[in-house]
Structure 1
Amino acid sequence: MTARLTSASSAPVRQSSVRAHNLALVLSTVAESADPPSRAAVAAVTGLTRATVSALVDDLIAGGLLTELDPPPRTGAGRPAAGLALASTGPAGLGLEINVDYLAVCVVDLTGVVRQRLVEHADQRPAVAADALTALGRLAARARHAAEADGLVVAGAALAVPGLVSAGSVLDAPNLGWQNVDALALLRGVPELADLPIVVDNEANLAALGELRVAGGEQTFLYVSGEIGIGAGLVIDGQLYRGARGWSGEIGHVTVHPGGRACRCGSNGCLEQYAGQEALGAGEPQAAAALGIALAAVVNLLDVPVIVLGGAYATYFDRLRDGIEAELRRRVLTARLAPVTLRAARLGTNAAVRGAADAVVRGVRDDPAAWLRRVG
């Protein structure tokens, strides 16, 4: 008897999987529509039956994900259909950020609007990791309480950290002086956050994802975050590239001056010693050139068409632009064929904490069935 092999593609599809797919399809159709679509319009776009769409919409409304708008005034024969829109009350994302000289939190609702934002400016380097994260947790609790008083339900939290992250642990954040810090466990130890799903990620990665949401159609770009340290997030065809171990983007430790200044990472001549926030504040004359040299190398290697400068670089963009573009013209092999677009981040200095909150919201929008199970 010949054994029959069953591939994943030929395996039967569970009814629950079909429903989960269709819920996400309906929700994304509403989210991506230029104008609030009716139930009939959603059925026409998705190919689902009107009855199926109506049942799914009812579930999404009950779960706080969609709202049905009042129909417009009648202008002729027939009854105008009510439109659908993402709910501005219901699930929201809690973004957390710890950086060298500040703590930040924000709450973003399902429509992408920032509903709460709190920042505490203080040097985090003297603080041990547990104390810094406890302080961040208290700040986050304040934002959560305010959001919930405004009718929102915080669905989860994401923490942005300037360092190498793996499975919730910060393996190395040289500018904070952290090594092998279990940030996830420390945040879960904050009573006001203990019930939330929490993820930890590199701040430049989350900033890049936040910028992707407001990028106006740009699907491939390099996001560079200028703080005390310098990180980068690479987005290719709308997807974040993380590298084999999830540690890509450490552009701040690209060598721009071999044998140059000592860096906190243990090497010499790293980009952040010449173009980090401290160097910019001190009026470093080589900042734009050093940054341009590093960025040109990235473009030559990866053929990135757009470079987005965020963090402090968004603030200093006008001061840095000419010097960076001069190096790109000089050093990028294809500069005359296809000049690189250089722009400031649309989210400015808020990109990382906003991107962290957006990551939570995106999870709800991508898998509304999971959210409905939580609240059902």
Structure 2
Amino acid sequence: MTRPVHRVAPATDTPVRQESLRAHNLSLTFRQIVGAAAPISRIELAVATGLTRPTISRIVDDLLAGGLIIEAGPARSGNSGRPRVGLTLAATGPAGLGLDIRVDTLSACVVDLTGAVRHLAFAPRPKTAAEALASLAEMGRAAMAAAAAEHLTVVGTTLAVPGPVEDGSIVRFAPVLGWRDVDAGAALRPALGPVTVDNDASLAALGELYASAPALRDFVCVSGEFDIGAGLVLGGALLRGARGWGGSLGHVAVDSDGPPCACGATGCLQHYAGLQQILPGAAPMPYSPAVAIDDLASAGNPEVLAALDRAGSALGVALSALINIIDVDTVLLGGSYSLLASWLIESVERELSRRVLTSGWAPVSVRPAPLGPDAAVMGAALSAIDQVRQDPNSWLARA
């Protein structure tokens, strides 16, 4: 006897209201302009979206009136015919503010809708969490004022931190900073409004994705300071994990009999590839440890050169395990590692060629990350503006 099949309608199977349809079409059209490598014409938008030309004209008029796009012609469709007016993103209007806290440095960055950096500032990091957050608040206010002077409105703020974050606000564990259960978002809110807090390695990968797209879609970006993180990008999308706590490459064990780590485990990558393990002696860390390491290596210091080789080998071991699972074709050495890439690449590649299963016919490319040490703060700023890039309706409602 055949049993009847009962089909359940999807939860999203609801009527589409006219205003929802308009908002959807506007977002669809705007994303075509965001993703275009050159100014795009109205006719090209109609072809790309499947919308009628009158609908495209109305949407373009709304985007022009809202200050999100400008006419930047001419754009030409095909090889003949009269040039058509091109449309591209405006360099004024909404902007994103990114903040970053590193071992020795605080930074603030503003990017406009095109992704261009309009403000970038640095300051030494105070020792305590309260002092560091107060300094970040002051830098954020100064960045907002600088943005306003260039006819930009900061629509969102994101803080990058070296550790796992809960609820987009609470830094659960950042051993390199000595932070545990610090509600950084709440501390910054009175001065800057709502602030999203996120992991620095993930934000650095996001920044590198923006800088490299569409050429690079599957990669791991290793951000090296004293806390080592990895941002994972698959199919052009940032991989965050179930709770957004992924990418703690520094706490992957490379030697089960190794020294104890602040995380509670032993033999973590941190203790073999962190900058503190590469610099010789017990002297206080210089303001720019990666620069100091590069100077010593360039001078032929045998202790530093040996430490760099050990660090690269340890990185290669940890990355091999990761790549065998997720299958990416590119490793970007970011953060301070970008400044030391020439000393690390050979030893990283040596381990990858030995340990990655597919290396015999599909070698993994290892190279410096284009944005380098500033990738996390730029990624934070891009993350803050991304809501407008994905859905411009919220901006148009307030314009």
Aligned to 1:177: 178
TM-score (norm 2): 0.86
User: Displacement of 1:105 after TM fit?
Assistant: 0.8
Conservation of the 8 A alpha-carbon contact between 2:73 and 2:87: no
Q: Letter of the aligned partner of 2:54 in structure 1?
A: A
Letter in 2 for 1:228: F
- Supply the distance in 1 between the matched residues of 2:357 and 2:89 (Cα, whole angstroms): 45
**Residue in 2 that maps onto 1:64:** 67
Q: Which residue of 2 aligns with 1:275?
A: 273
Per-residue displacement from partner, 1:226-260 (whole Å, max 9, x unpaired)?
Answer: 01110111111122222222211111011112222
Alignment match of 2:97 (pick from 94, 97, 101): 94
In the comparison of the two structures, how many residue pairs are matched?
363
Hey, what does 2:350 align to over in structure 1? 326
Indicate whether 1:314 and 2:342 are aligned.
no
Deviations 1:122-163 (A, max 9, x none): 3x4x31x22211111101111111111011111111111101
Structure 2 counterpart of 1:27: 30
Please tell me the root mean square deviation across aligned C-alpha atoms, in Å: 2.1
In 2, the alpha carbon distance for the partners of 1:121 and 1:291 equals 28
1:356 matches 2:380: yes
Q: Does 2:106 align with 1:110?
A: no
* SS of equivalent to 2:221: strand
- Deviation per CA, 1:337-367: give whole Å up to 9, x if none: 2111111111111110000111122211101
**Would you say the 8 A contact 1:173–1:179 is kept in 2?**
yes
Q: CA deviation at 1:119?
A: 0.9
* Cα separation, 1, equivalents of 2:224 and 2:141: 28
What is the DSSP-based 3-state SS (H/G/I as helix, E as strand, rest coil) of the residue aligned with 2:173?
strand
Mapped to 1, the partners of 2:71 and 2:327 lie a distance apart of 44
Partner of 1:297: 321
Q: State the distance in 2 between where 1:105 and 1:326 align.
A: 37
Name which of structure 1's ranges 220-229 and 294-303 shifts more when overlaid on structure 2: 294-303
**Do the aligned partners of residues 288 and 58 (structure 1) sit closer, same or farther apart at CA in structure 2, a change above 3 Å counting?**
same
Looking at structure 2, the residues matched to 301 and 35 of structure 1 have their Cα atoms a distance apart, in angstroms, of 37
Partner of 2:49: 46
Other structure's SS at 1:214 match: helix
Q: Which moved more, 1:15-24 or 1:178-187?
A: 15-24
Cα deviation code 1:293-346 (max 9, x no counterpart):
111111122222211110011000000011111111112222112111111111
For residues 27 and 183 of structure 1, what CA distance do their matches in structure 2 show?
33
| Shift in Å, 1:10 | 3.1
Q: Would you say 1:263 and 2:266 are equivalent positions?
A: no
CA distance in 2, matches of 1:349, 1:330: 29
Q: Displacement, 1:292?
A: 1.1
The percentage of aligned residue pairs carrying the same residue is: 51
* 1:121-200 paired onto structure 2 within 5 Å: 121-122=124-125, 124=126, 126-127=127-128, 129-167=129-167, 168-190=169-191, 193-194=192-193, 197-200=194-197
CA shift, 1:114, in A, is: 0.4
Instruction: Answer whether contact 1:107 1:357 (CA < 8 A) is retained.
Output: yes
Say whether 1:202 aligns with 2:199: yes
Aligned to 2:18: 15
| Cα distance change of structure 1 residues 27 and 331 upon mapping to structure 2, 3 Å threshold | same
Secondary structure in 2 aligned to 1:64?
coil
| Matches of 2:17 and 2:197, distance apart in 1 | 32
- How far is 1:53 from its partner? 1.2
> What per-residue deviation string (whole Å, max 9, x for no partner) do you get for residues 140-199 of structure 1?
111111111011111111111101101111111111111111111101022xx12xx421
Please list every run of at least 4 consecutive aligned residues from structure 1 whose deviation after the TM superposition is greater than 6 angstroms. none
Q: 1:344 aligns with which of 338, 343, 368?
A: 368
CA distance in structure 2 between the partners assigned to 1:84 and 1:244 by the alignment: 38
Shift of 1:211: 0.9
Q: Partner residue of 1:369?
A: 393
* Equivalent residues of 1:36, 1:83 under 8 A apart: yes
Rounded Cα–Cα distance in structure 2 between residues aligned with 1:86 and 1:333: 43
Mapped to 1, the partners of 2:231 and 2:219 lie a distance apart of: 8
- The offset of 1:79, in angstroms, is 6.7
Question: TM-score when scaled to structure 1?
Answer: 0.91
Q: Distance in 2 between matches of 1:175 and 1:118?
A: 22
Find the aligned partners of 2:74 and 2:352 in 1 and give their Cα distance: 53
Distance 1:70-1:341 versus aligned 2 partners, 3 A rule: closer
Which amino acid is the alignment partner of residue 50 of structure 2?
A: G
One-letter code of the match for 2:174?
A: A
- Out of 327-336 and 352-361, give the one that drifted further: 327-336
The one of 204, 209, 224 aligned to 1:212? 209
Aligned-pair CA distance for 1:80: 4.6
Superposed CA deviations along residues 76-131 of structure 1, whole A, max 9, x for unmatched, are: x9975322110001111101111221101100111111000001133x4x31x222
Quick check: 1:92–1:154 contact (8 Å CA) kept in 2? Answer: yes
